[in-house]
Amino acid sequence: MKTGIKIALSLALLSSLSFGGEQFAMSDSDRAMYAEMLENNPADIMVANGEQLLGNLGGEAAFAKYLGVSEDKLPEYIAGFPRYIEKFKMVVGIDQVLQAMMHDAGEKPFKLKSSDMFDMLAYTKSLANGVKSNIDIDANQHMKDAYALGQKTFDTKRGGRGLSCLSCHAPAVIGSVLRTQPLPDLSSKGVAVAATWPAYRMTKSSLRTLQRRFQGCMKNALLKVIPIGSPEMVALEVYLTKQAEGTEIAIPGLKR
């Protein structure tokens, strides 16, 4: 990765861990580790693996052709996911397109929750690094419906505790500390939720996708976990990606 791009991404990653000027409640040792990882993100190795995996399918040129867009327009197109794809008759994430591409190439598709898929998704989305997230929820009725479902999924209380995503991200509780970190305002451009995932999670020592992070939140809240790639999960990504609209994509991210 070129030095200039690396510095720009590091600044974007730093802002993704800052809310109202206050960083996560890290220990001094964790903060030092994070600073080092900004320059040497462990996920870079995983993104490199993703590049090789996509290369086995023909690389970005083949991916652009599969999507029916020119290679020079591919980064901007990627920055608009999740999006409605006519050949699938549904709103999908990039990982689902990669699955279909593998199937059509005669390969056994990676499972959406597999590390290889996480790696390939991270590399593919990184092709749009520096491009502003441009999801268009008004593009068609399918996108409008997905956004509405995502908002409903975000707001609806579930489980024995009656919790929802909104329970931890409503204006009244934003900034409160839970599990050693302030609860972020997901509508803030500075958080850039969708623009900085897939990301390396320091506490998990692994690369995770946005939908996998959703699942972690659900598990911690003792809610029934929604499957990756399900209509509700894709819709939730649509909803939160809209909140990051206009934010430059910076993959891989780095999260506590």
Q: Each residue's pLDDT tens digit in the chain (256 positions)?
A: 444 444 444 444 444 443 333 344 555 666 665 565 556 789 999 999 999 999 999 999 999 999 999 999 999 999 999 999 999 999 999 999 999 999 999 999 999 999 999 999 999 999 999 999 999 999 999 999 999 999 999 989 988 888 888 777 666 655 555 555 655 566 555 445 678 899 998 888 899 999 999 999 888 888 899 999 999 999 999 999 998 888 899 999 888 7
pLDDT score, position 178: 55
Q: Hunting for tokens 């900085």 — which residue is that? A: 196
Q: Helix H segments across 127-230?
A: 141-155, 165-169, 210-220
pLDDT score, position 245: 84
CA distance 44 to 139: 33
Other C-beta atoms closer than 10 Å to the C-beta of 21 total 6
CA distance 235 to 146: 5
CA distance 217 to 99: 25
pLDDT score, position 34: 57
Which residues are paired to 199 by β-bridges? 208, 253
pLDDT score, position 199: 92
CA distance 26 to 146: 36
CATH numbers and ranges of domains, the chain:
3-254 (1.10.760.10)
pLDDT score, position 17: 41
pLDDT score, position 160: 82
pLDDT score, position 222: 86
